[in-house]
Protein backbone atom coordinates (compact mmCIF):
# COMPACT_ATOMS: atom_id res chain seq x y z
CA UNK A 1 0.00 0.00 0.00
CA UNK A 2 2.67 2.38 1.06
CA UNK A 3 4.79 1.54 -1.96
CA UNK A 4 1.87 2.15 -4.27
CA UNK A 5 1.35 5.69 -3.02
CA UNK A 6 4.99 6.48 -3.50
CA UNK A 7 4.82 5.22 -7.05
CA UNK A 8 1.85 7.41 -7.78
CA UNK A 9 3.54 10.44 -6.36
CA UNK A 10 6.51 9.82 -8.53
CA UNK A 11 4.27 9.59 -11.55
CA UNK A 12 2.58 12.87 -10.78
CA UNK A 13 5.85 14.62 -10.20
CA UNK A 14 7.18 13.26 -13.42
CA UNK A 15 4.14 14.52 -15.24
CA UNK A 16 4.47 18.02 -13.83
CA UNK A 17 8.08 18.19 -14.81
CA UNK A 18 7.31 17.29 -18.37
CA UNK A 19 4.34 19.61 -18.76
CA UNK A 20 3.83 19.68 -22.51
CA UNK A 21 4.00 23.05 -24.19
CA UNK A 22 0.74 24.31 -25.61
CA UNK A 23 0.26 24.80 -29.33
CA UNK A 24 -1.35 27.77 -30.89
CA UNK A 25 -2.07 28.74 -34.47
CA UNK A 26 -1.74 32.16 -36.04
CA UNK A 27 -3.32 32.93 -39.37
CA UNK A 28 -1.70 35.49 -41.65
CA UNK A 29 -2.76 36.74 -45.06
CA UNK A 30 -0.38 36.01 -47.92
CA UNK A 31 0.13 38.18 -50.98
CA UNK A 32 1.64 35.90 -53.63
CA UNK A 33 2.59 37.16 -57.07
CA UNK A 34 0.79 35.69 -60.08
CA UNK A 35 3.67 33.24 -60.56
CA UNK A 36 3.71 32.24 -56.91
CA UNK A 37 -0.03 31.69 -56.98
CA UNK A 38 0.46 29.29 -59.88
CA UNK A 39 3.13 27.47 -57.86
CA UNK A 40 0.66 27.24 -54.93
CA UNK A 41 -2.01 25.80 -57.20
CA UNK A 42 0.38 23.30 -58.73
CA UNK A 43 1.61 22.21 -55.29
CA UNK A 44 -1.94 21.68 -54.07
CA UNK A 45 -2.79 19.63 -57.15
CA UNK A 46 0.36 17.50 -56.79
CA UNK A 47 -0.41 16.94 -53.12
CA UNK A 48 -4.01 16.01 -53.93
CA UNK A 49 -2.90 13.40 -56.47
CA UNK A 50 -0.37 12.03 -53.97
CA UNK A 51 -3.02 11.91 -51.24
CA UNK A 52 -5.38 9.92 -53.45
CA UNK A 53 -2.73 7.46 -54.59
CA UNK A 54 -1.55 6.91 -51.02
CA UNK A 55 -5.15 6.36 -49.97
CA UNK A 56 -5.67 3.82 -52.77
CA UNK A 57 -2.43 2.10 -51.76
CA UNK A 58 -3.69 1.81 -48.17
CA UNK A 59 -6.91 0.21 -49.33
CA UNK A 60 -5.19 -2.19 -51.74
CA UNK A 61 -2.04 -3.14 -49.89
CA UNK A 62 -2.53 -1.99 -46.30
CA UNK A 63 0.97 -0.54 -45.85
CA UNK A 64 1.86 1.49 -42.78
CA UNK A 65 3.08 5.07 -42.57
CA UNK A 66 6.79 4.25 -42.86
CA UNK A 67 6.30 1.89 -45.77
CA UNK A 68 4.41 4.64 -47.57
CA UNK A 69 7.19 7.13 -46.90
CA UNK A 70 9.57 4.67 -48.57
CA UNK A 71 7.23 4.39 -51.54
CA UNK A 72 7.17 8.14 -51.88
CA UNK A 73 10.93 8.19 -52.41
CA UNK A 74 10.58 5.71 -55.29
CA UNK A 75 7.61 7.56 -56.78
CA UNK A 76 9.60 10.78 -57.02
CA UNK A 77 11.96 9.21 -59.55
CA UNK A 78 9.16 8.83 -62.06
CA UNK A 79 7.20 11.99 -61.42
CA UNK A 80 8.57 15.43 -62.23
CA UNK A 81 5.65 17.12 -60.47
CA UNK A 82 6.53 15.43 -57.21
CA UNK A 83 10.09 16.64 -57.56
CA UNK A 84 8.87 20.22 -57.83
CA UNK A 85 7.37 20.10 -54.34
CA UNK A 86 9.48 20.35 -51.19
CA UNK A 87 10.15 16.84 -49.87
CA UNK A 88 8.82 17.62 -46.40
CA UNK A 89 5.56 18.92 -47.87
CA UNK A 90 5.14 15.57 -49.66
CA UNK A 91 5.94 13.67 -46.48
CA UNK A 92 3.26 15.63 -44.73
CA UNK A 93 0.71 14.36 -47.28
CA UNK A 94 1.64 10.79 -46.31
CA UNK A 95 1.19 11.80 -42.68
CA UNK A 96 -2.25 13.26 -43.47
CA UNK A 97 -3.34 9.91 -44.90
CA UNK A 98 -2.01 8.18 -41.81
CA UNK A 99 -3.85 10.57 -39.51
CA UNK A 100 -7.09 10.14 -41.46
CA UNK A 101 -6.88 6.38 -40.87
CA UNK A 102 -5.97 6.86 -37.24
CA UNK A 103 -9.08 9.02 -36.77
CA UNK A 104 -11.18 6.39 -38.53
CA UNK A 105 -9.85 3.50 -36.42
CA UNK A 106 -10.37 5.39 -33.19
CA UNK A 107 -13.97 6.09 -34.17
CA UNK A 108 -13.63 9.86 -34.52
CA UNK A 109 -14.14 10.08 -38.28
CA UNK A 110 -15.65 8.14 -41.13
CA UNK A 111 -13.56 6.18 -43.61
CA UNK A 112 -11.11 8.50 -45.44
CA UNK A 113 -12.41 9.80 -48.75
CA UNK A 114 -10.69 10.44 -52.05
CA UNK A 115 -10.33 14.14 -52.69
CA UNK A 116 -11.87 15.64 -55.79
CA UNK A 117 -10.37 18.70 -57.40
CA UNK A 118 -11.26 21.72 -55.31
CA UNK A 119 -11.66 19.65 -52.15
CA UNK A 120 -7.98 19.68 -51.32
CA UNK A 121 -7.05 23.17 -50.19
CA UNK A 122 -3.78 23.26 -48.32
CA UNK A 123 -0.26 22.00 -47.99
CA UNK A 124 2.05 21.98 -45.00
CA UNK A 125 5.72 22.63 -44.31
CA UNK A 126 6.21 20.58 -41.15
CA UNK A 127 9.51 22.08 -40.03
CA UNK A 128 10.35 25.71 -39.37
CA UNK A 129 13.71 26.94 -40.72
CA UNK A 130 14.25 23.78 -42.78
CA UNK A 131 11.16 24.02 -44.94
CA UNK A 132 10.06 27.57 -44.36
CA UNK A 133 11.17 30.68 -42.57
CA UNK A 134 9.94 34.12 -41.69
CA UNK A 135 11.28 37.60 -41.79
CA UNK A 136 9.55 40.90 -41.24
CA UNK A 137 7.52 40.98 -44.46
CA UNK A 138 8.01 37.60 -46.05
CA UNK A 139 7.60 33.92 -45.55
CA UNK A 140 10.24 31.96 -47.38
CA UNK A 141 8.91 28.67 -48.65
CA UNK A 142 11.16 25.83 -49.78
CA UNK A 143 11.10 25.40 -53.60
CA UNK A 144 8.65 28.29 -53.99
CA UNK A 145 10.53 31.29 -52.66
CA UNK A 146 9.82 34.44 -50.74
CA UNK A 147 6.14 35.30 -50.49
CA UNK A 148 4.85 38.52 -49.04
CA UNK A 149 2.99 38.05 -45.78
CA UNK A 150 1.26 40.46 -43.48
CA UNK A 151 2.25 39.59 -39.94
CA UNK A 152 -0.48 41.67 -38.35
CA UNK A 153 0.39 40.50 -34.89
CA UNK A 154 3.50 39.48 -33.03
CA UNK A 155 4.17 35.78 -32.88
CA UNK A 156 5.00 34.54 -29.41
CA UNK A 157 6.62 31.16 -29.06
CA UNK A 158 8.54 28.77 -31.24
CA UNK A 159 7.17 28.25 -34.77
CA UNK A 160 6.68 24.62 -35.69
CA UNK A 161 4.69 24.12 -38.87
CA UNK A 162 3.47 26.37 -41.67
CA UNK A 163 0.39 25.54 -43.73
CA UNK A 164 -0.53 27.37 -46.90
CA UNK A 165 -4.31 27.53 -47.19
CA UNK A 166 -6.47 28.55 -50.11
CA UNK A 167 -9.70 30.29 -49.27
CA UNK A 168 -11.56 30.95 -52.50
CA UNK A 169 -9.42 33.71 -54.01
CA UNK A 170 -7.23 34.42 -51.00
CA UNK A 171 -4.20 32.70 -49.51
CA UNK A 172 -3.22 32.35 -45.87
CA UNK A 173 -0.37 31.07 -43.79
CA UNK A 174 -1.44 29.09 -40.74
CA UNK A 175 1.54 29.16 -38.43
CA UNK A 176 1.46 26.72 -35.56
CA UNK A 177 3.55 27.84 -32.63
CA UNK A 178 4.68 26.04 -29.53
CA UNK A 179 4.23 28.10 -26.43
CA UNK A 180 6.44 27.23 -23.54
CA UNK A 181 4.70 26.27 -20.33
CA UNK A 182 4.85 29.19 -17.90
CA UNK A 183 6.84 27.30 -15.27
CA UNK A 184 9.87 26.91 -17.48
CA UNK A 185 13.00 28.85 -16.68
CA UNK A 186 12.85 30.76 -19.92
CA UNK A 187 9.14 31.20 -20.32
CA UNK A 188 9.15 33.39 -23.36
CA UNK A 189 11.16 32.41 -26.40
CA UNK A 190 11.20 35.46 -28.59
CA UNK A 191 10.53 35.13 -32.26
CA UNK A 192 11.73 37.43 -34.91
CA UNK A 193 14.68 37.55 -37.19
CA UNK A 194 17.15 40.36 -37.44
CA UNK A 195 20.20 41.15 -39.54
CA UNK A 196 22.99 43.27 -38.10
CA UNK A 197 25.36 45.52 -40.00
CA UNK A 198 28.44 46.73 -38.22
CA UNK A 199 29.54 50.18 -39.26
CA UNK A 200 31.62 53.16 -38.32
CA UNK A 201 28.93 55.81 -38.10
CA UNK A 202 26.74 53.58 -35.93
CA UNK A 203 28.16 50.65 -33.99
CA UNK A 204 25.40 48.47 -35.38
CA UNK A 205 22.40 48.98 -37.62
CA UNK A 206 19.53 46.51 -37.57
CA UNK A 207 17.54 45.30 -40.54
CA UNK A 208 14.38 46.73 -38.95
CA UNK A 209 15.86 50.23 -39.21
CA UNK A 210 17.17 50.65 -35.67
CA UNK A 211 20.62 52.23 -35.46
CA UNK A 212 22.69 52.10 -32.31
CA UNK A 213 24.95 55.13 -32.13
CA UNK A 214 28.61 54.97 -31.23
CA UNK A 215 29.10 55.23 -27.49
CA UNK A 216 30.75 58.49 -26.44
CA UNK A 217 33.56 56.79 -24.54
CA UNK A 218 34.96 55.63 -27.84
CA UNK A 219 36.28 59.09 -28.70
CA UNK A 220 36.78 60.45 -25.19
CA UNK A 221 38.90 57.67 -23.78
CA UNK A 222 40.59 57.18 -27.12
CA UNK A 223 42.07 60.65 -27.08
CA UNK A 224 42.89 60.40 -23.37
CA UNK A 225 44.89 57.25 -24.01
CA UNK A 226 46.76 58.89 -26.86
CA UNK A 227 47.77 61.78 -24.61
CA UNK A 228 48.99 59.44 -21.91
CA UNK A 229 51.00 57.43 -24.40
CA UNK A 230 52.73 60.58 -25.61
CA UNK A 231 53.43 61.60 -22.05
CA UNK A 232 55.09 58.28 -21.29
CA UNK A 233 57.31 58.43 -24.34
CA UNK A 234 58.55 61.88 -23.27
CA UNK A 235 59.50 60.69 -19.79
CA UNK A 236 62.83 59.13 -19.03
CA UNK A 237 62.93 55.37 -18.84
CA UNK A 238 62.98 54.02 -15.29
CA UNK A 239 61.93 57.36 -13.80
CA UNK A 240 59.27 57.60 -11.12
CA UNK A 241 57.13 59.99 -13.13
CA UNK A 242 57.20 57.59 -16.08
CA UNK A 243 56.00 54.81 -13.79
CA UNK A 244 53.17 57.05 -12.59
CA UNK A 245 52.12 57.84 -16.13
CA UNK A 246 52.25 54.15 -16.98
CA UNK A 247 49.81 53.40 -14.17
CA UNK A 248 47.51 56.20 -15.33
CA UNK A 249 47.54 54.69 -18.82
CA UNK A 250 46.73 51.21 -17.51
CA UNK A 251 43.80 52.72 -15.59
CA UNK A 252 42.57 54.50 -18.69
CA UNK A 253 42.63 51.21 -20.57
CA UNK A 254 40.75 49.53 -17.77
CA UNK A 255 38.10 52.20 -17.99
CA UNK A 256 37.71 51.60 -21.71
CA UNK A 257 37.37 47.90 -21.20
CA UNK A 258 34.74 48.32 -18.51
CA UNK A 259 32.70 50.76 -20.54
CA UNK A 260 33.00 48.61 -23.61
CA UNK A 261 31.80 45.58 -21.64
CA UNK A 262 28.89 47.52 -20.11
CA UNK A 263 27.83 48.70 -23.50
CA UNK A 264 28.18 45.26 -25.09
CA UNK A 265 26.16 43.70 -22.27
CA UNK A 266 23.31 46.15 -22.66
CA UNK A 267 23.07 45.83 -26.41
CA UNK A 268 23.42 42.02 -26.45
CA UNK A 269 20.73 41.74 -23.74
CA UNK A 270 18.35 43.71 -25.92
CA UNK A 271 19.16 41.68 -29.02
CA UNK A 272 18.79 38.30 -27.32
CA UNK A 273 15.52 39.32 -25.67
CA UNK A 274 13.94 40.75 -28.79
CA UNK A 275 15.09 38.31 -31.45
CA UNK A 276 15.40 34.56 -31.77
CA UNK A 277 17.22 34.48 -35.08
CA UNK A 278 20.15 36.86 -35.30
CA UNK A 279 22.51 37.21 -38.23
CA UNK A 280 25.89 38.93 -38.01
CA UNK A 281 28.56 39.54 -40.58
CA UNK A 282 31.44 37.10 -40.43
CA UNK A 283 34.35 39.44 -39.87
CA UNK A 284 36.88 36.73 -40.61
CA UNK A 285 35.79 36.83 -44.21
CA UNK A 286 34.97 40.41 -44.89
CA UNK A 287 35.46 43.85 -43.59
CA UNK A 288 37.58 44.79 -40.66
CA UNK A 289 38.58 48.24 -39.74
CA UNK A 290 41.87 48.49 -41.55
CA UNK A 291 43.15 51.84 -40.44
CA UNK A 292 45.11 51.49 -37.25
CA UNK A 293 43.57 54.27 -35.24
CA UNK A 294 42.97 53.67 -31.58
CA UNK A 295 39.25 54.34 -31.87
CA UNK A 296 38.87 51.68 -34.54
CA UNK A 297 40.87 49.17 -32.50
CA UNK A 298 38.45 49.75 -29.62
CA UNK A 299 35.56 49.47 -32.08
CA UNK A 300 36.86 46.09 -33.25
CA UNK A 301 37.06 44.78 -29.73
CA UNK A 302 33.58 46.16 -29.01
CA UNK A 303 32.10 44.31 -32.00
CA UNK A 304 33.86 41.14 -30.93
CA UNK A 305 32.52 41.42 -27.42
CA UNK A 306 29.05 42.21 -28.67
CA UNK A 307 28.96 39.22 -30.96
CA UNK A 308 30.28 36.79 -28.36
CA UNK A 309 27.83 37.97 -25.71
CA UNK A 310 24.92 37.88 -28.15
CA UNK A 311 25.70 34.28 -29.15
CA UNK A 312 25.89 33.25 -25.52
CA UNK A 313 22.73 35.06 -24.43
CA UNK A 314 20.63 34.07 -27.42
CA UNK A 315 21.69 30.45 -27.00
CA UNK A 316 20.62 30.49 -23.37
CA UNK A 317 17.18 31.61 -24.50
CA UNK A 318 16.89 28.99 -27.20
CA UNK A 319 17.62 31.41 -30.01
CA UNK A 320 20.08 31.13 -32.81
CA UNK A 321 22.93 33.26 -34.11
CA UNK A 322 24.42 32.87 -37.57
CA UNK A 323 27.42 34.46 -39.27
CA UNK A 324 27.38 35.16 -42.98
CA UNK A 325 29.87 36.35 -45.52
CA UNK A 326 29.36 40.11 -45.75
CA UNK A 327 30.73 40.39 -49.29
CA UNK A 328 28.46 42.44 -51.51
CA UNK A 329 25.94 43.19 -48.77
CA UNK A 330 26.44 46.94 -49.06
CA UNK A 331 26.10 47.06 -52.84
CA UNK A 332 23.18 44.70 -53.36
CA UNK A 333 19.60 46.01 -53.29
CA UNK A 334 17.77 44.25 -50.48
CA UNK A 335 14.50 44.91 -52.28
CA UNK A 336 15.17 43.28 -55.63
CA UNK A 337 18.71 41.90 -55.52
CA UNK A 338 20.22 44.05 -58.24
CA UNK A 339 23.65 45.58 -57.79
CA UNK A 340 23.67 49.26 -56.87
CA UNK A 341 27.19 50.62 -56.56
CA UNK A 342 27.69 53.54 -54.22
CA UNK A 343 30.68 55.35 -52.81
CA UNK A 344 31.57 55.57 -49.13
CA UNK A 345 30.05 59.02 -48.69
CA UNK A 346 26.59 58.11 -49.93
CA UNK A 347 24.32 57.51 -46.94
CA UNK A 348 21.21 56.37 -48.78
CA UNK A 349 20.58 53.34 -50.92
CA UNK A 350 18.42 54.21 -53.90
CA UNK A 351 17.69 51.38 -56.30
CA UNK A 352 17.14 52.41 -59.93
CA UNK A 353 15.65 48.98 -60.73
CA UNK A 354 12.89 48.70 -58.14
CA UNK A 355 12.83 52.16 -56.56
CA UNK A 356 13.64 50.87 -53.08
CA UNK A 357 15.09 53.63 -50.94
CA UNK A 358 16.54 53.19 -47.48
CA UNK A 359 19.53 54.11 -45.31
CA UNK A 360 22.54 52.27 -46.73
CA UNK A 361 23.37 50.50 -43.46
CA UNK A 362 19.78 49.31 -43.10
CA UNK A 363 19.99 48.00 -46.67
CA UNK A 364 23.18 46.10 -45.76
CA UNK A 365 21.56 44.71 -42.60
CA UNK A 366 18.59 43.50 -44.64
CA UNK A 367 20.96 41.73 -47.02
CA UNK A 368 22.76 40.16 -44.08
CA UNK A 369 19.44 38.90 -42.69
CA UNK A 370 18.45 37.48 -46.08
CA UNK A 371 21.79 35.70 -46.43
CA UNK A 372 21.30 34.22 -42.96
CA UNK A 373 17.79 33.04 -43.75
CA UNK A 374 19.02 31.48 -46.97
CA UNK A 375 21.82 29.74 -45.13
CA UNK A 376 19.41 28.39 -42.54
CA UNK A 377 16.96 27.27 -45.19
CA UNK A 378 19.66 25.35 -47.03
CA UNK A 379 20.61 23.42 -43.93
CA UNK A 380 19.34 20.01 -43.01
CA UNK A 381 19.96 20.47 -39.32
CA UNK A 382 17.09 21.32 -36.97
CA UNK A 383 16.81 24.71 -35.34
CA UNK A 384 19.85 24.74 -33.10
CA UNK A 385 22.22 27.35 -31.92
CA UNK A 386 25.26 27.30 -34.11
CA UNK A 387 28.48 27.67 -32.22
CA UNK A 388 31.24 29.25 -34.13
CA UNK A 389 34.57 30.42 -32.87
CA UNK A 390 35.55 33.87 -33.96
CA UNK A 391 39.30 33.61 -34.15
CA UNK A 392 39.89 37.35 -34.47
CA UNK A 393 38.61 37.84 -30.97
CA UNK A 394 39.23 34.51 -29.37
CA UNK A 395 42.16 35.65 -27.25
CA UNK A 396 39.67 36.83 -24.68
CA UNK A 397 37.22 33.96 -24.93
CA UNK A 398 38.05 32.87 -21.38
CA UNK A 399 36.50 36.13 -20.26
CA UNK A 400 33.11 34.93 -21.43
CA UNK A 401 33.13 32.36 -18.66
CA UNK A 402 34.22 34.92 -16.11
CA UNK A 403 31.27 37.08 -17.06
CA UNK A 404 28.71 34.56 -15.89
ZN1 LIG B 1 16.06 47.17 -56.09
Q: pLDDT tens-digit profile of 41-50?
A: 999 999 999 9
Gap between the terminal Cα atoms of the chain: 48
pLDDT at 174: 94
DSSP string, 144-186: TEEEEEE--S---SEEEEEEEEEETTEEEEEEEEEEPPTTSSS
Is residue 240's pLDDT more than 70?
yes
DSSP state of 329: T
- Classify strands 193-198 and 202-206 as parallel, antiparallel or unpaired: antiparallel
Is the separation of the CB atoms in 191 and 159 below 8 Å? yes
* CB proximity list for 357: less than 8 A, separation 6 or greater: 348, 349, 350, 351
* Residue 8 pLDDT > 60: no
The Å distance, Cα 351 to ligand 1 centre, comes to: 5
**Interval 273-292 mean pLDDT:** 73
d(CA 29, CA 149): 6
Distance CA 317, CA 301 (A): 24
Helix (H, G, I), strand (E, B) or coil at 40: helix
Quote the ligand 1 centre to 149 CA distance (angstroms): 19
Residue 399: the pLDDT is 33
Least confident of 18-27, 28-37, 127-136, 354-363: 18-27
Q: Are the CB atoms for 365 and 195 separated by under 8 Å?
A: yes
- CA 286 to chain CA mean position, Å: 21
CATH topology of domain 193-402: Nucleotidyltransferase; domain 5 (3.30.420)
Q: Ligand 1: distance of its center to the CA of 273 in Å?
A: 31
**How far, in Å, from the CA of 332 to the mean position of ligand 1?**
8
Enumerate residues 6+ apart whose C-beta is below 8 A from 239.
none
User: 86 CB contacts (<8 Å, ≥6 apart)?
Assistant: 125, 131, 141, 142, 143, 144
Q: In angstroms, what is the span from residue 371 Cα to ligand 1's centroid?
A: 16
What is the CA angle 291-215-230, rounded to 5? Answer: 50
Which of 120, 116, 62 lies closest to 96, judged by CA? 120
* Cα gap 81→130, rounded to integer Å: 21
The sheet with strand 202-206 has its strands ordered as 211-213, 202-206, 193-198, 277-281, 320-324
Contact 355, 314 (CB under 8 A): no
Give backbone dihedrals phi and psi of 160, rounded to 5 degrees, phi first: -115, -65
Beta partners for residue 278, in sequence order: 194, 321
- Per-residue pLDDT at 288: 54
Rounded distance between C-alpha atoms, residue 389 and residue 375, angstroms: 18
Q: Tell me the percentage of the chain whose pLDDT exceeds 90.
A: 41
**C-alpha–C-alpha distance, residues 98 and 65, integer Å:** 6
Q: How far is the CA of 339 from the centre of ligand 1 (A)?
A: 8
Measured in Å, residue 159 CA sits from the centre of ligand 1 at: 30
Element spanning 27, H or E: strand 22-31
Q: pTM for this one?
A: 0.48
* Cα 363 to averaged position of ligand 1 atoms, centre (Å): 10
Distance 350 CA to ligand 1 centre (A): 8
Digit-coded pLDDT (tens) for 178-236: 876 543 333 233 358 899 999 877 889 999 888 888 888 777 777 888 888 888 888 88
pLDDT of 92 reads 97
What torsion, rounded to 10 degrees, do the Cα atoms 61, 67, 68, 70 define? -130
Phi, psi of 277 (to 5 degrees): -130, 110
Cα 342 to middle of ligand 1, angstroms: 13
Residue 158 pLDDT class (50, 70, 90 cuts): confident
Residues 37-56, mean pLDDT to the nearest whole number: 97
Widest pairwise Cα distance in the chain: 97
pLDDT tens string 263-278:
999 999 999 988 989 9
Determine the distance separating the centroid of ligand 1 and the alpha carbon of 333, expressed in angstroms. 5
The pLDDT tens digits for 298-329 are 888 888 899 999 998 988 888 889 999 888 89
User: How much distance in Å is there from the Cα of 253 to the middle of ligand 1?
Assistant: 45
Distance 144 CA to ligand 1 centre (A): 20
Report CA(135)–ligand 1 centroid distance (Å): 18
User: Ligand 1 centre and the CA of 286: distance in Å?
Assistant: 23
β-pair type (320-324, 277-281): parallel
Centre of ligand 1 to C-alpha 362, Å, is: 14
Residues of the chain with CATH 3.30.420: 193-402
CA 340 / ligand 1 centre spacing (Å) = 8
Amino acid sequence: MHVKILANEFKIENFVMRATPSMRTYKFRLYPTKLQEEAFEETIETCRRLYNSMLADRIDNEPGYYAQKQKLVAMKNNDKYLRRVHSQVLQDVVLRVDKAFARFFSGISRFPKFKRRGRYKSFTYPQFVIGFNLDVNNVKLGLIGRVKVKLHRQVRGKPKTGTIIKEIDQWFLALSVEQSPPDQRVSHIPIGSIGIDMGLSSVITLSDGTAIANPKFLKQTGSQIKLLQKEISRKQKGSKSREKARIRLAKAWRKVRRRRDDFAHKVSDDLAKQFSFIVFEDLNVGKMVHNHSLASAIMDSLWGKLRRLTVYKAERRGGRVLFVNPRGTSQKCSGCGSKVTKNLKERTHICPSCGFQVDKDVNAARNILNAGLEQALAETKPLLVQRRRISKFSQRSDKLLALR
